[in-house]
Amino acid sequence: MVKSFKMTDQKRFHSIVVLILTTAIAGLLISGCKKNNDETVTTQFLKGPYLIFPDNNTQMKVLWYTNIYPGNSRIAWGKTESCSDSNIAVTEESYSSDDMHGFNYTLTGLTPGIKTYYKVIADQNTAAGSFYPAPPGNATRLTFYGMGDSQPKTGVPAMFDAVSAAMLSDMNKDEPNRHTLVLHGGDFVYRGRVEGDWGAGYFNNSYTNIASLFAAMPIMGAVGNHEFYNANGKIDMTHPNSFIDQYLPYPYYSDYYYSFDYGPLHVAVVDNYSSYEVGSDQYNWLSDDLTNSTKPWKIVMYHESAFGNAYDNIKVQTNLHPLMVSKNIKMVIQGHIHSYCRCLKDGIQYVTLGGGGAPLDAGRGPEGTYNPALIQKDAFVFHFGRFDLVDNKIDATIIDKDGNIIDSFSCSTTIK
């Protein structure tokens, strides 16, 4: 005889089913957590370490990013490779997200012109580098480098890596004198408002020459138009630009213009994307900055070429060229056009260093967009510049990625 199934039995059966299902789900969840816990995520350097010069010849800022927050986060430095002079815990993040953690630390008490070694520790990983602090303020000799437009449109910085290799090779030929700094004329990345373009196109540690360059020399730059490009390739000038401020924390005076001294050299960096018309805040700042500097050499750097071999910037010509003539500027570093070009106008060498890694222009721009009579030399190759300053003279050598000299020139200034 079949026994009837009472309501209490139904409730008991339902409770048993619920218990079985709950236990099974809990088991799956526990199993999943255990699997995730068993998959150890190791600390990796995503970006850097890289250097920024804080306008003080006894200091250097070191910046780096890791994939997880490290349990052991430190920086050590000293005058020998053992880095035994100082060892500091760096636990405060300058940036934090689920998959990226930013840190920076300014080394202090450095001896101007004396080589400094450092190493950044993030758990089991160590990244090491070395640099020379800026020379004494009364130095009369200096070698520095220049480049621009490192942005790779495809996101793969192969040509930037090749230019970096050539620059490192040139530096190593006279390491004590050439291990200094790099001036960058802008367009670091293709889309500056897209984080992935910074990670894949500029701070790509899988390209060892770029990583070595970043670890050895501070790169001091001007913002380019591509630093404001969004994911759709459109310019978004909204201030602040989070990635410029995050990755390039230069000693800005306002917006993205600033200046600094490096030994006998004074560099004024103009922001082409903030007003610089006569009478504007930036114009007045630049005028006062150049007037007040007591350095024997003063140069100006910005992104968009005033005089070059394509698409001259008329606004720079109209507003800044007369000012720079009046302030006895003899050399300007610029970019934007993807080639090398040197123009001479009213005693100023306008040097376009646009071959740092971006796709090269095939030739000069359309007729009417530049003045060919001003061109002293141009070339459509990947390149960088080395500038050897002695007293009141700069000897410049422009070198392609294969080590060939494509131009050389000299300019002199009046030492007051």
pLDDT digits (tens, 9 = 90+) for 187-243: 999 999 999 999 999 999 999 999 999 999 999 999 999 999 999 999 999 888 989
Whose tokens are 């190593």? That residue is 172
Distance separating alpha carbons of residues 333 and 303, to the nearest angstrom: 8
Whose tokens are 């700069």? That residue is 394
Q: What letter would DSSP give residue 257?
A: B
- The answer to whether residues 119 and 179 belong to one domain is no
- Return the structure tokens found at 27: 């088991």
Cis? peptide before 240, omega within 30° of 0: yes
Per-residue pLDDT 10s for the chain (416 aa) are: 333 333 344 444 444 433 434 434 333 333 333 334 446 789 999 999 999 999 999 999 999 999 999 999 999 999 999 999 999 999 999 999 999 999 999 999 999 999 999 999 999 999 999 999 999 999 999 999 999 999 998 888 999 999 999 999 999 999 999 999 999 999 999 999 999 999 999 999 999 999 999 999 999 999 999 999 999 999 999 888 989 999 999 999 999 999 999 999 999 999 999 999 999 999 999 999 999 999 999 999 999 999 999 999 999 999 999 999 999 999 999 999 999 999 999 999 999 999 999 999 999 999 999 999 999 999 999 999 999 999 999 999 999 999 999 999 999 998 76
| Domain end residue (candidates: 107, 131, 155) | 131
What is the pLDDT at residue 1? Answer: 36
Distance separating alpha carbons of residues 333 and 316, to the nearest angstrom: 13
How many other CB atoms sit within 10 Å of the CB of residue 319? 20
Alpha carbon 171 to its chain centroid, in Å, reads 18
Say if 80 falls within a structural domain: yes
Distance separating alpha carbons of residues 119 and 138, to the nearest angstrom: 30
Picking from 145, 146, 147, the residue whose alpha carbon sits closest to that of residue 160 is: 147
Say if 35 falls within a structural domain: no
- The answer to whether residues 249 and 345 belong to one domain is yes
Domain that holds residue 73: 45-131
What is each CA distance from 323 to 15, 140, 285, 304, in whole angstroms?
86, 26, 12, 17
**One-character DSSP codes across 149-200:** ----TTS--HHHHHHHHHHHHHHHTTHHHH-S-EEE-S--SS-TT-HHHHHH
- The answer to whether residues 369 and 254 belong to one domain is yes
Say if 59 falls within a structural domain: yes
Domain total in the chain: 2
Picking from 304, 309, 306, 320, the residue whose alpha carbon sits closest to that of residue 370 is: 309
- The answer to whether residues 304 and 331 belong to one domain is yes
Here the CATH number for the domain that contains residue 102 is 2.60.40.10
- The answer to whether residues 352 and 382 belong to one domain is yes
- The answer to whether residues 199 and 303 belong to one domain is yes
| Domain end residue (candidates: 131, 156, 173) | 131
Say if 368 falls within a structural domain: yes
Distance separating alpha carbons of residues 219 and 167, to the nearest angstrom: 13
- Taking only the tens place, the pLDDT of each residue in 52-87 is 999 999 999 999 999 999 999 999 999 999 999 999
Distance separating alpha carbons of residues 57 and 135, to the nearest angstrom: 7
Q: Is 265 helix (H, G, I), strand (E, B) or coil?
A: strand
Here the CATH number for the domain that contains residue 342 is 3.60.21.10
Identify the helix (H) or strand (E) that includes residue 408: strand 405-412
- The answer to whether residues 125 and 198 belong to one domain is no
What is the pLDDT at residue 4? Answer: 37
How many other CB atoms sit within 10 Å of the CB of residue 174? 12
Picking from 199, 209, 100, 99, the residue whose alpha carbon sits closest to that of residue 155 is: 199
Q: What letter would DSSP give residue 235?
A: B
How many other CB atoms sit within 10 Å of the CB of residue 264? 21
- Indicate the pairing of strand 101-107 with strand 116-122: unpaired
Residue 57 carries which side chain, given as an amino acid letter? N
Distance separating alpha carbons of residues 294 and 289, to the nearest angstrom: 10
Say if 281 falls within a structural domain: yes
What is each CA distance from 176 to 32, 113, 116, 171, 180, in whole angstroms?
55, 9, 12, 9, 9
Say if 265 falls within a structural domain: yes
- The answer to whether residues 270 and 327 belong to one domain is yes
What is the pLDDT at residue 416? Answer: 60
**One-character DSSP codes across 312-335:** --HHHHHHTHHHHHHTT--EEEEE
What is the pLDDT at residue 150? Answer: 97
- The answer to whether residues 168 and 52 belong to one domain is no
Picking from 371, 375, 280, the residue whose alpha carbon sits closest to that of residue 323 is: 280
- Return the structure tokens found at 393: 């003279």
Say if 270 falls within a structural domain: yes
- The answer to whether residues 246 and 213 belong to one domain is yes
| Domain end residue (candidates: 131, 151, 175) | 131
Distance separating alpha carbons of residues 145 and 389, to the nearest angstrom: 11
Say if 1 falls within a structural domain: no
Picking from 135, 115, 352, the residue whose alpha carbon sits closest to that of residue 261 is: 135
Q: Cα dihedral sign for 303, 305, 308, 311?
A: positive
pTM: 0.90
- The answer to whether residues 126 and 161 belong to one domain is no
- The answer to whether residues 88 and 173 belong to one domain is no
